[in-house]
Amino acid sequence: MINVLCEKIKKLNAPIVVGLDPMLSYVPEHVVKKSFEAYGETLEGAADAIWQFNKEIVDSVYDLIPAVKPQVAMYEQFGVEGMKAYKKTVDYCHEKGLVVIGDVKRGDIGSTSAAYAVGHLGKVQVGSRTLSAFNEDFATVNPYLGTDGIKPFVDVCREEKKGLFILVKTSNPSSGEFQDRIIDGRPLYEWVGEKVAEWGADCMGDSYSYIGAVVGATYPEMGKVLRKVMPKSFILVPGYGAQGGKASDLVHYFNEDGLGAIVNSSRGIIAAYKKEPYAKFGPEHFGEASRQAVLDMIADIDGALQAAK
């Protein structure tokens, strides 16, 4: 799947991923109203609203982008109905030819990680049948438990030709509390980055490992160092847009081949219609607002990469 991701990025000249993080407050009133009329003010009504919202956004942008990243928490808050909307979203994005990065941030002791890996990336044995549950192409994983928490995910990825993005340096303000602590003379995030490179070393696609990393856009100096620590790891870069990351900050996350990183924006794209300069589209045309925001993001990142050459 890492090869597919690289090919799509090259073909579209768009190293970006649209984060499908649908809070109910981002869904325009006319969409919510319709879902509530059909299902009432219930968890099912909310789940239907976020699914209808996602569908229109995906229909509006799928031809411009290689991948989407649904964030499971936004669905999970609506319980089982929300998780059904998550699964519908994953399947619909696949129908549209998109690579799906399940932002599930899992990771536990080995046996539990194995179950997470099977549920999200692999197949589960049910009597005589082998069935897919969520079936995303990549998953985000938390490495805090160490190698035996990661290995079951790597094993499933190898078997299924899927991939991981492992948290190395996160974009949030408190990420330094632990991640920047100096251990044996080096920050923890560097140790984790080195480990990601090691875990991914025998998991190579054509040019990149399918065991990738997450490094936030909000720490560009650290991103520059981590690019060198993990030269073959694809880096998922969240934090562009709503969290303040700028295109010029991101150029060092890429390798000289122009690949090696994929930049996420969630709120900046899906809630574009709520803010300038996209408010002119109005809530009725939120999909068109998202499309324009995607076009602008692609041009912004391309401009920064060209300027850095």
Ligand X SMILES: O=C(O)c1cc(=O)[nH]c(=O)n1[C@@H]1O[C@H](COP(=O)(O)O)[C@@H](O)[C@H]1O
Question: Which of 10, 13, 68, 64 is closest to 303 using CA atoms?
Answer: 13
Residue 291 structure tokens? 């499309």
Q: How far is the CB of 226 from ligand X (least distance, A)?
A: 12
Long-range contacts of the stretch 113-120 (C-beta < 8 A, 24+): 113/145, 113/148, 113/149, 113/150, 113/151, 113/152, 113/153, 114/152, 114/155, 114/156, 116/152, 116/153, 117/152, 117/153, 117/155, 117/156, 117/157, 118/156
Question: Which of 152, 72, 131, 68 is closest to 104 using CA atoms?
Answer: 72
Q: How far is the CB of 154 from ligand X (least distance, A)?
A: 18
| Complex with ligand X: residue 44 or 225, whichever CB lies closer | 225
Whether 234 contacts 212, CB under 8 Å: yes
Q: How far is the CB of 37 from ligand X (least distance, A)?
A: 29
Q: Is 241 a binder of ligand X (CB under 6 A)?
A: yes
Q: Is 214 a binder of ligand X (CB under 6 A)?
A: yes
Residue 287 structure tokens? 């999909």
Whether 69 contacts 264, CB under 8 Å: yes
Q: Is 220 a binder of ligand X (CB under 6 A)?
A: no
Q: Among 24, 145, 242, 304, indicate the residue that binds ligand X (CB under 6 A).
A: 242
Provide the 3-class DSSP secondary structure of residue 22.
coil
Q: Among 35, 71, 233, 292, indicate the residue that binds ligand X (CB under 6 A).
A: 71
Enumerate residues 30-49 that contact ligand X by CB under 6 A: none
Q: How far is the CB of 264 from ligand X (least distance, A)?
A: 5
Q: Is 239 a binder of ligand X (CB under 6 A)?
A: yes
CA–CA gap between residue 243 and residue 253 (Å, rounded)? 17
Q: How far is the CB of 309 from ligand X (least distance, A)?
A: 26
Enumerate residues 262-281 that contact ligand X by CB under 6 A: 264-268
Q: Among 60, 170, 179, 292, indicate the residue that binds ligand X (CB under 6 A).
A: 170
Q: Is 216 a binder of ligand X (CB under 6 A)?
A: yes
DSSP character at residue 109: S
Q: Which are the catalytic amino acids?
A: 105
Whether 20 contacts 54, CB under 8 Å: yes
Q: Among 107, 238, 260, 287, indicate the residue that binds ligand X (CB under 6 A).
A: 238
Q: How far is the CB of 66 from ligand X (least distance, A)?
A: 16
User: In the bound complex, which residue of the shown chain has the CB atom lying closest to ligand X?
Assistant: 170
Neighbours of 48 (CB within 10 A): 23
Question: Which of 56, 55, 50, 57 is closest to 27 using CA atoms?
Answer: 50
HSE of 202, CA atoms in CB hemisphere, 13 A? 3
Give how many residues touch ligand X by CB under 6 A.
20
Identity at 37, one-letter amino acid code: E
CA–CA gap between residue 128 and residue 117 (Å, rounded)? 20
| Complex with ligand X: residue 24 or 123, whichever CB lies closer | 24
Q: Is 233 a binder of ligand X (CB under 6 A)?
A: no
Q: How far is the CB of 39 from ligand X (least distance, A)?
A: 26
Choose the stretch contacting ligand X; rule: CB under 6 A; options: 34-42, 239-247, 272-280, 295-303.
Answer: 239-247
Q: Is 89 a binder of ligand X (CB under 6 A)?
A: no
| Complex with ligand X: residue 45 or 212, whichever CB lies closer | 212
Enumerate residues 91-150 that contact ligand X by CB under 6 A: 103, 140
| Chain contacts with ligand X (rule: CB under 6 A) | 19, 21, 71, 103, 140, 170-172, 214, 216, 238-239, 241-243, 264-268
